[in-house]
Copies of this chain bind each other. A is one copy, B any other.
């Protein structure tokens, strides 16, 4: 099997024409598509409906091609929309497909993919241990489906998780059940990402089960996974998981590597990931080098310390622009400078995803033949 990756632009969150063009041109068959990541141009926060809009547009378009109802599409294709293209980030889709490999299989490991999803999460589970454990179980299932034998070959676990809206919080309160972990909707996004990331860390053995309880979630930032990327959204009630790694069970020229940015401007770590892919850097990548890079996935976050290398930033104190929006713009600039492209999947809110103020980064590249 081979995992193929296409990066295509969107003109607006309802525009899936570039994906349809891939299908029309024969670059990918509808049934080959296993996952679609999208970077949409909403605020990436609570009332970002560009994620739901894109999901609806994708579902409607793929339903016709797959001959199923639009409602059934998300159970066939993992759809993960991440809002926020601040700074110069360019709205785009990453389309992951799986096909039988046409060439003889080599010895080396190639890009592998597996998907899974959790059950629907109850409002009171969000941001708490049940979410951590349900996520961990789904991650293990996805790794198995990806046929990645060695956990060290897992390089990226993308999770789309639910959040709490005012309505969901009120419903939970009205039902007389347990209180939700927070009654602040924006804060619920952070808690849901935090629990998701710890679920990844638990699944990959990066943290001990004993070290975890509700109180650590979103607070004990010393616990983190260097391979988790979680994004919360109003458009789903369960979590979607996509595992990416390398595996000898897969073929093709594509390969993935990852690293961890220690802070938001940690360019050396980015260069390290490119080096691991045998891309050498002297200044900005030239066009030929850049064209080998199929996808850049990164998390961005404002450091809780309120500083970057000792200099104050304003991200947390700005009541006009949310911290995660500042952070995406910043990390997008750092990455665009070295890579020379702006269609980068930079997602906000990196709780337990790398050290405070930093975050994981992965690059998928086509190996030179």
Q: Which residues of A contact B (CB under 8 A)?
A: 9, 11-14, 41-43, 45-50, 52-53, 56-57, 60, 70, 85-92, 165-167, 169-170, 183-187, 234-235, 264-265, 267-268, 270-271, 281-284, 304-306, 308-309, 311-322, 325-327, 329-338, 340-343
Cross-chain contact B183 with A46 (CB below 8 angstroms): no
Which B residues are in CB contact (< 8 Å) with A165?
Answer: 317
Q: Is the CB of A309 within 8 A of B342?
A: yes
Residue of B nearest to A55 (CB): B14
Minimum CB–CB distance for A328 against chain B, Å:
9
Q: A368 to chain B: closest CB distance in Å?
A: 22
Contact status A89-B49, CB under 8 Å: no
Which of B14, B53, B267 is in CB contact (< 8 Å) with A283?
Answer: B267
Copies of the polypeptide in the assembly: 4
A311–B9 touching, CB < 8 Å: yes
From A11, A311, A335, name the one whose CB has the most chain B CB atoms within 10 angstroms: A311
User: Is A326 a contact of B283 with CB atoms below 8 Å?
Assistant: no
Residues A43 and B320 in contact, CB atoms below 8 Å apart: yes
Could you jot down 22 A-B contacts, CB within 8 Å? A9-B312, A12-B234, A14-B53, A41-B47, A41-B314, A41-B318, A46-B317, A47-B318, A85-B314, A87-B333, A88-B264, A88-B308, A88-B326, A166-B316, A166-B317, A167-B306, A169-B306, A264-B336, A265-B337, A265-B340, A309-B340, A329-B330
Q: Is the CB of B337 within 8 A of A86?
A: no
Rounded to whole angstroms, the CA-CA distance of A47 and B322 in the bound complex is 12
Query: Is there an interface contact between A57 and B56, defined as CB atoms closer than 8 Å?
Result: yes
Please judge, given known A-B contacts A85-B314, A166-B316, A309-B340, whether A13 and B332 are in contact too, CB under 8 Å.
no
Q: Which residue of B lies closest to A186 (CB)?
A: B319
Given the complex, which residues of B lie within 8 Å of A332, measured CB to CB? 330, 333
In the assembled complex, the Cα of A183 lies from the Cα of B184 at a distance in Å of 14
A325 touches B316 (CB 8 A): no
User: Which residues of chain B have C-beta atoms less than 8 A from A41's C-beta?
Assistant: 47, 49, 314, 317-318
Q: Which residue of the partner chain, among B320, B322, B326, contacts A329 with CB atoms under 8 Å?
A: B326
Given A9-B312, A183-B304, the answer on whether A49 and B56 have CB atoms closer than 8 Å is: no
Contact B265 A308 (CB under 8 A): no
Chain B residues whose CB sits within 8 angstroms of the CB of A57 once the complex forms: 56
Across the interface, A342 reaches (CB within 8 A) one of B50, B92, B313, namely B313
Least CB distance from A8 to B in Å reads: 11
A185 and B184 alpha carbons, distance in the complex (Å): 13
B318 engages A321 (CB within 8 Å) = no
The 10 closest A-B pairs by CB, nearest first: A333-B333, A45-B319, A329-B329, A166-B306, A87-B330, A334-B337, A90-B311, A53-B53, A267-B337, A88-B330
Smallest CB–CB gap between A262 and chain B, Å?
12
**Distance between A17 CB and nearest chain B CB, rounded to angstroms:** 13
